[in-house]
Each structure stands twice: as structure tokens, then as C-alpha cells.
A and B are shown apart, each in its own frame.
Chain A
């Protein structure tokens, strides 16, 4: 019985939150890795792209609920998501036309593009603040829990409860759909294949008649969809705040690099690696260990390896370790 309790406590505090957070990071990292693969630079504006898409989605959500339209037990934001994606696509295509295209035509070095993306980051950050302000916004509605801790306890008779939030389940389901769609697109469609060809070898791709402008456009559209989805899922699960999204840049980049920049499969693996490490290292294990160990060995302290404030340190440490021992990431990524 104690063993079961330990497993439930583990699932409740580590596995389920880690799974949801990992899925959010993975979708974010997919966007970063696609831009790196096709456009060949690290996009520092990615966190703010996520914030922009989420901000639009929140506005539409508020409008919908104002009209009395809801999505039943599911959050209304899911209905508003396509509008958010559409707006982000328009914004990113506009920025590409107005800003990035000039440098691409010049064949500017990647580091210049990174600095340009810093400028874009500032502008987007400003736009998001114009649109929605700097407050903390909670926009999840509908059923809060699929199963609450108390229901689970009553059902199973265990001491520990397992709570699953609707948003966590939605995150995992949506993430699965998004990833399946993306891999189907990259592997089965003509445009997807040309994107992969372009990423593997630009010269050969151009030689075989692939239209680079089209590839770039499609990339931005996919990135907009991924970024908005990741942003909305994260916001539903926690809450929306422009500054937090900017800070997500670090774990997202860590995920993309750990998996191997430019490799979509790596981005997903990296997302889960980073998320689970963050959660396990900053979780206080006392509860789980109390169930597992005999009474004489029970721990006095919290058995928390690092306080939660140091979660950045965890992503960072993993990043450094992977880079030192396997510079191209867990899955072979590109290196320039």
C-alpha cells in the first residue's frame, strides 16, 4: 500500500506536471528548431512571439465569453486559438517581409540575424504590452479538474490523491496532435519534404528547383502556429504574463539545443528532458521517500535538491553538460 501511495504521490507532484510542462516546452522548442533549421539563426523573439499569439487569443476569448459563447467543459481559449494563430501568422509574415528578408537577400551572417531578432524582440514586447498590458492574466475557464485529489482518494482508498487538471490533459492531447501533424507534414507532403531538403542542404535544394521564398513563408506560418499553441497551453496551465514568456526563452532554447538544434525529434525529447529535470530536482522528495523507506530511515528535511527559484540553473546545467560532452545534442543536430 505504501508503495502505491509513493507512486501516486510521485505521479501527482512530478510526473503529471512534468509531462504537461515538457509538452509545452517541446512545442516551443519545435518552433525554435524549425527557424534554426530553415532560416539558420537563433530567434530570440520566440518567447515574445508566444506572448503575442497568447495575448490575441486572450482578447478573442474575452470577446467570446462576453457574447456568451463557451466551449462547454473545455476552456474557451481553444475556440479562440485559430484566431490567435492567424494573427501571429500575419505578424510574422509581415516582420519577415519588412525585416528579415533584407538580411537574407544580403546573405548576412547568422549572428547579425540574431541581433536583428533582438530588435524584433523589443518591438514585439512593446506590442504585447500595448495590447494587453503587463498584468498577470488567468484565462482558463470550463471544468478545472478531470479528477480531483479527493475524488481519487475516495475512489481508490489510498492516502495520496492524484489530481489531473483539465489544462494538463488538454496540453498533452494537443501536443500529441500538433506533433503528429507536424511530422506528417514534414515527411509526407511535398512542401514538408522541400523544407527538409532546404534544411539539409540549401544549395542542392535550390538546384532542384525548390522555391526558397515559399519554404520560408511556410516555415513562418508553422512557427506562428506552434508558438501560439505553446503559449496558449502554457498560459492555460499557469497564467499569462508578458515577462514570464520572455523568460521561457531559456528553457526552450535549452530544450532545442539539448535535443540538437534543427532536429524536430530532438526538440521534443529535449523539452521533456528539461522539464522532468527541472521538476525532479526542485521537488521536495520527503513525501515519496517517507512511504518508501522504513521508519528508521525516514528523512528529516524536505529532501529537495535545489529550491524552486533555481530552476533556471537546472536547464542551464543540463545545457552545459550536453554541450560539453555531445556538442550537437542528443539527436544529431546541425552545427554551423
Chain B
């Protein structure tokens, strides 16, 4: 079987799974899975860029995805003028002071020598920290006191939410630059721990800094790039059209909005996939893979390994940020409490490894396939447990236990899938070519 036929067949399988879901569980569920599958595919593309192209072990995907979500809030929500008046400028002055402290400390580290270096750096850091707290804390309190039940934050820029997708990418890229500057060049597993830590810190900041995006009080009711179902249902033209294809307006409107999202997401995915393919086949892509396969040799050929690593680390993280902004747009809300590393970091890794690291189409396939599995494992497991326990009498502890445990099937299944693929097809379903 030629490789093209095999690849097409695999994507065909995804299509069959989705259509099957539509026929059995309804088209709304199928479209829901498709939409998150598309977003997952984009995240997988980003990780594939870092791991597949360059061999960078980034397990802080969750942090970049969350930053994308933050961008969605900061771009689309309405500004809160009272909060800006209460402490808007002061809070930015505080942040600027903090940044200045770090820059000054880094400068001192670079310029000075010996004992003066240590002392000056310490003085700058300690002094800067207290100065920063002195300016920042009152401003923060003032902002969070403004109408805390509904806002309590600075609000956003009131721009179309579609704009937040590239902004999410930029925000993630900025964070990646800072992280890359400090942590790249460390050994692979140190980088892993560092990124894992950064992701936790980003989530902690988003949970606690209420002035930014309300923290765990969540931001709900975000703007949407597609029409609201309720508006469609009241639009006579739409109702008439729905009737002409024999659909009831409620169902038609929900399907319509989900389809609209699917179209938007597909466009973004196709653009990114096209760019990633271009990059892979360009001299730049070949250089990246050369660095991945043998850093020393690449360095001997005059390639600046650290700089190239930084570059691809930023690019990959930016893609994860875009995906994060898209996800928050789709959800219509930002809930920092729901970001969990197993779901947002390690699951994306399973997607990349199963799909085939180093191959963009593999990453996309892995994203769609694993997401479908992630959603469907629970109902499938429940069905399985129902069949297995059908011989037992109702109300027995074992039966209840078995049915209860179906809810925990997900992680187990994902682990088994990852281990099986690594063992029997270590290069993934669509291997690198």
C-alpha cells in the first residue's frame, strides 16, 4: 500500500468516526468533537514543531494555551473605566518597575565582576522587589475593589474577538522568549522540568491576579465571531431556510453556529499546516532536523544552535497560544481552574507521538483521532462495563464499582495507547519522511 493511500485512509477513518458519532449520538456532538479536534490538531502542530522538528522537550503546553485564553479576554471584553481610573496607570508602573529590576539585575550580572557583582545584584533585586510591591499592591487592591461581583478587573480593549487569535499567539511567543532565554541550553530533561514549572506558574498567576482577568471568578459571556443561536432562531429568513431543508429552527441554529466555528478553525488549521509544511521542506526545516539529529555536527557547520532553538521554541509556543485563544473563543468563557496538565500538556504529547512526530500531517491526524478517543472513551467504557456487569444483580457493590470506574477509563486508555504506539510503532501512524 503506498504511503499516500495509507495516509488518506487514516484521515478517512477520522471522517468515518465523526460521521458515525453524528449518526449515533447526533450531529451536535459530532461537530463539538470536530471543533475541539481541530483545535487539538493545531496544538499538536505547535508541539510537533518543537519536538518533531527540533527535538525540544516542552511540557509546558498548558501555560501557552492558557495565555492564549487570556488574550481572548484582554482583547474582546469591554474596558472598565472606573478600574482604570482607580489604578490602571499605577499597576502598569508597578509592572514596569518589576521588569526594570530584572533587566537591571541581568545587566549587573553581565557588566560587573567578583564580589561587587553579587552585592549589586542582590541590592537591585531586593530593593526592586519592595519598590515593585509598594507601587503594585495598592493599585491592585484599588482595581479589585471596583465592583468585584461583576468586574474587579481592568477589562479588555473591546475589539473583535477574532483579533485575539493572533494576539494570543504573540502573548505566548513573548512568554516563550523569556522562558527560552533562561531555560534553553539546559539539558533536555531540565528544560522539561522548567517548562512544567512555568506552566504551573502561568496558571497560578491567572488564578490569583484578579485585576487581570478576574482569576478564579472566571470571565463568562465572551464575544463571539459567529451569530448567537437565539438571534438566528428569531431571524425569519433563517427559520424559513431551516424549514425548507426540513430542520427545526433550534437544531438548525445550533448546527449552524458549530459549522461556522468549524469553518473558521479549518481555515486557521490549513494556513498553519501550509506554513509548517513550507517550513519543513525549506532549508530552514532541513537545518532544524540536522540540529536535532546531531547538534555537534550542526554547530561545526556554523549553525547557531541556541538561537535556532529559541526561534522554533517561540514559533511552536505561539501556535499553542493561537489554539488557546481559539479554544476560549469556542467555550465563550475563561476558567483558569480548568487548566490541568494531564489534559492540556500530556494529552497533546500523546497526540503528537501517536500521530507521528516530525510529520505535520501526522500531528493533525493524531490531534483529531486522540481527541475523538478522549471524548468517546467514557461512553464506550460505560457501555463495556454495563455489558460486563450485566450478569451481576442490580445494586451489588461490585457492579456499582465497575460502572463508577468507567469515568476513570480515559487516562488509563490514553496511557495504554501511548505505550502501545511507542512499543510497536514508535514513529507514529504517519511517520516522518
Interface on A for B, CB 8 Å cutoff?
41-42, 99, 102, 110-112, 114-116, 118-127, 129-130, 133-134, 243, 246-247, 249-250, 253-254, 257, 301, 305, 307, 309-310, 312-313, 315-316, 319-320, 323-324, 327, 335-336
Contacts A114-B57, A250-B193 known; 15 new A-B pairs at CB < 8 A: A41-B189, A102-B423, A114-B192, A119-B416, A119-B418, A121-B415, A125-B411, A130-B405, A243-B340, A247-B200, A307-B208, A310-B201, A320-B182, A324-B182, A327-B186
Cβ of A122 and Cβ of B418 under 8 Å apart?
A: yes
Cβ of B187 and Cβ of A335 under 8 Å apart?
A: yes
Cβ of A257 and Cβ of B349 under 8 Å apart?
A: no
Cβ of B201 and Cβ of A313 under 8 Å apart?
A: yes
Tell me how far the C-beta of B385 lies from the nearest C-beta in chain A, rounded to whole angstroms: 11
17 A-B residue pairings within 8 Å (CB atoms): A99-B419, A102-B423, A111-B55, A112-B426, A114-B192, A122-B350, A126-B413, A130-B405, A246-B342, A250-B193, A250-B197, A257-B193, A307-B208, A312-B201, A313-B201, A319-B193, A323-B190
Contacts of B182 in A (CB 8 A): 320, 324
- For A108, the closest partner residue in chain B by CB is B426
Answer whether A253 and B201 are a contact pair too, CB < 8 Å, given A121-B346, A323-B186.
Answer: no
Cβ of B411 and Cβ of A129 under 8 Å apart?
A: yes
- For A42, the closest partner residue in chain B by CB is B189
Q: How many A-B residue pairs have CB under 8 A?
A: 122
Tell me how far the C-beta of A324 lies from the nearest C-beta in chain B, rounded to whole angstroms: 7
Kindly state the separation between the CA atoms of A128 and B107 in the bound complex, as whole angstroms: 49
SS class, residues of chain A in contact with chain B: helix
Interface on B for A, CB 8 Å cutoff?
55, 57, 129, 137, 182-183, 186-190, 192-194, 196-198, 200-201, 204, 207-208, 340-342, 346, 349-350, 353, 404-405, 408-416, 418-419, 422-423, 426
Contacts of B137 in A (CB 8 A): 301
Contacts of B201 in A (CB 8 A): 310, 312-313, 316
Tell me how far the C-beta of A308 lies from the nearest C-beta in chain B, rounded to whole angstroms: 10
Identify which of A110, A305, A316 contacts B189 (C-beta below 8 A). A110
Cβ of B193 and Cβ of A42 under 8 Å apart?
A: yes
Kindly state the separation between the CA atoms of A110 and B129 in the bound complex, as whole angstroms: 39
Cβ of B422 and Cβ of A116 under 8 Å apart?
A: yes
Cβ of A312 and Cβ of B346 under 8 Å apart?
A: no
Cβ of B194 and Cβ of A319 under 8 Å apart?
A: yes
- For A127, the closest partner residue in chain B by CB is B412
Interface centre among A41, A118, A253 (most CB of B within 10 A): A118
Cβ of B419 and Cβ of A123 under 8 Å apart?
A: yes
Cβ of A309 and Cβ of B208 under 8 Å apart?
A: yes
- For B423, the closest partner residue in chain A by CB is A102
- For B414, the closest partner residue in chain A by CB is A122
Contacts of A99 in B (CB 8 A): 419, 423
Kindly state the separation between the CA atoms of A243 and B411 in the bound complex, as whole angstroms: 13
Pairs A-B, 6 closest by C-beta atoms: A126-B412, A122-B415, A123-B415, A316-B197, A129-B408, A119-B418
Cβ of B193 and Cβ of A123 under 8 Å apart?
A: no
Contacts of B208 in A (CB 8 A): 307, 309-310
Answer whether A111 and B188 are a contact pair too, CB < 8 Å, given A123-B412, A129-B408, A130-B408.
Answer: yes
Kindly state the separation between the CA atoms of A336 and B207 in the bound complex, as whole angstroms: 37
Tell me how far the C-beta of A312 lies from the nearest C-beta in chain B, rounded to whole angstroms: 4
Contacts of B187 in A (CB 8 A): 335-336
Contacts of A123 in B (CB 8 A): 411-412, 415-416, 419
Kindly state the separation between the CA atoms of A118 and B186 in the bound complex, as whole angstroms: 20
- For B416, the closest partner residue in chain A by CB is A123
Kindly state the separation between the CA atoms of A309 and B415 in the bound complex, as whole angstroms: 30
Tell me how far the C-beta of A59 lies from the nearest C-beta in chain B, rounded to whole angstroms: 13
Cβ of B189 and Cβ of A111 under 8 Å apart?
A: yes
Contacts of B413 in A (CB 8 A): 126
Tell me how far the C-beta of A165 lies from the nearest C-beta in chain B, rounded to whole angstroms: 27
Contacts of A134 in B (CB 8 A): 408
